[in-house]
Amino acid sequence: MGEVAAESFIDQLPLHQTATKDPNDDQQLQVITVESRSMSTGFNGLSNDRVVGELNPVDAWLPITESRNGNIFYAVFHLISSGIGSQALLLPVAFAALGWTWGVICLSISFAWQLYTIWLLVILAESVPGTRYSRYLHLAVVAFGGTCVMLIITAGGNMETLYKIACGGGSTCEAKSLTGVEWFLVFTCMAIAIAQILPNLNSVAKVSMVGAITAVAYCTFIWALSINKGRSNGVSYSPSQESKSDMVEFGNIFNAIGKIALAFRGHNLVLEIQGTLPSSRRNPSCQTMWKGTTISYLLIAMCLFPLTITGFWAYGNKVPVNGGLLSALSQVHGHNTSKHVMGTIYLLVLINSLSSFQIYAMPVFDNLEFQYVSKKKQRCPGWVRAGIRLFFGGLTFFIAVAFPFLGSLAPLIGGIALPLTYVYPCFMYILIKKPSRSGAMWWLNVGLGCLGTILSVMLVVAAAWNLADKGLHANFFRPK
DSSP letter string over 101-143?
Answer: HHHHHHHHHHHHHHHHHHHHHHHHTT-STTEEE---HHHHHHH
Is it the case that residue 30 has pLDDT exceeding 60?
no
Encode pLDDT of 298-318 as tens digits. Answer: 999 999 999 999 999 999 988
CB count in 10 Å sphere of residue 321: 15
SS3 46: coil
At 158, is the pLDDT very low, low, confident or very high (cuts 50, 70, 90)?
Answer: very high
CA max distance for the chain: 92
Q: Measured between alpha carbons, how far is 349 from 214 in angstroms, rounded to an integer? A: 7
Instruction: Give the list of residues 6+ apart from residue 465 with CB closer than 8 angstroms, or none.
Output: 247, 250, 251
Whole-number pLDDT of residue 33: 35
* Per-residue confidence (pLDDT) for residue 447, from 0 to 100: 96
Query: Rounded mean pLDDT of 127-150?
Result: 68
Query: Would you state the pLDDT for residue 306?
Result: 96
Q: What is the model's pLDDT at position 448?
A: 96
Model pLDDT, residue 145: 65
What residues does 3 pair with on adjacent strands? 132
Task: Please check the confidence at residue 116 and state whether its pLDDT lies above 90.
Answer: yes
Which distant-in-sequence residues (6+ apart) come within 8 Å of 347 by Cβ? 162
Of 83-97, 178-192, 273-287, 403-417, which range is least confident? 403-417
Mean pLDDT of 110-136: 84
What confidence category does residue 14 fall into, taking pLDDT thresholds of 50, 70 and 90?
very low
What pLDDT sits at residue 38? 37
Rounded to the nearest 5 percent, the helix, strand and coil shares of the chain are: 75, 0, 25
Cα–Cα distance measured from residue 9 to residue 44, given in angstroms and rounded to the nearest whole number:
18
Q: How confident is the model at residue 56 (pLDDT cuts 50, 70, 90)?
A: low
pLDDT score recorded for residue 417: 81
pLDDT computed for residue 310 by the predictor:
95
Is residue 410 a contact partner of residue 262, using CB atoms and an 8 Å limit? yes
Q: At 399, is the pLDDT very low, low, confident or very high (cuts 50, 70, 90)? A: very high
pLDDT at 9: 36
In one-letter notation, the amino acid at residue 38 is S
Secondary structure of 132-177 as H, E, C letters: EECCCHHHHHHHHHHHHHHHHHHHHHHHHHHHHHHHCCCHHHHHHC
The pLDDT of residue 11 is 40
Say what percent of the chain tops pLDDT 90: 49
Compute the mean pLDDT over every residue in the chain, rounded to the nearest whole number: 83
What is the torsional sign of CA 340, 346, 352, 357? Answer: negative
The pLDDT assigned to 17 comes to 41
pLDDT at position 252 is 84
pLDDT at position 63 over 60: yes
Average pLDDT, integer, range 451-474: 87
Q: Is the dihedral of CA 28, 31, 33, 39 positive or negative?
A: negative
Dihedral, CA atoms, 357, 360, 362, 368, nearest 10 degrees? -110
Assess whether pLDDT exceeds 50 at residue 49: no
Asked whether residue 111 carries a pLDDT value surpassing 90, the answer given is yes
Q: Is the pLDDT of residue 40 over 80?
A: no
Average pLDDT over residues 472-476: 82
Helix 440-470 to helix 91-124 angle (10° resolution) is 150
- H or E segment and range at residue 3: strand 2-4
Mean pLDDT of the 192-214 span: 95
Band the pLDDT of 155: cuts 50, 70, 90: very high
Confidence (pLDDT) at 243: 54
User: Is 392's pLDDT higher than 90?
Assistant: yes
- Is residue 217 within 8 A of residue 349, CB to CB? The reply is no
pLDDT at 247 over 50: yes
Residue 264: pLDDT over 90: no
pLDDT of residue 414 exceeding 50: yes
Query: Percent of the chain, pLDDT > 70?
Result: 84
pLDDT surpassing 50 at residue 32: no
Q: For 26-35, 228-237, 421-430, which range has the lowest pLDDT when averaged over its residues? A: 26-35
> Which residues have a Cβ under 8 Å from the Cβ of 269 and sit 6 or more positions away?
78, 79, 82, 136, 144, 359, 360, 363
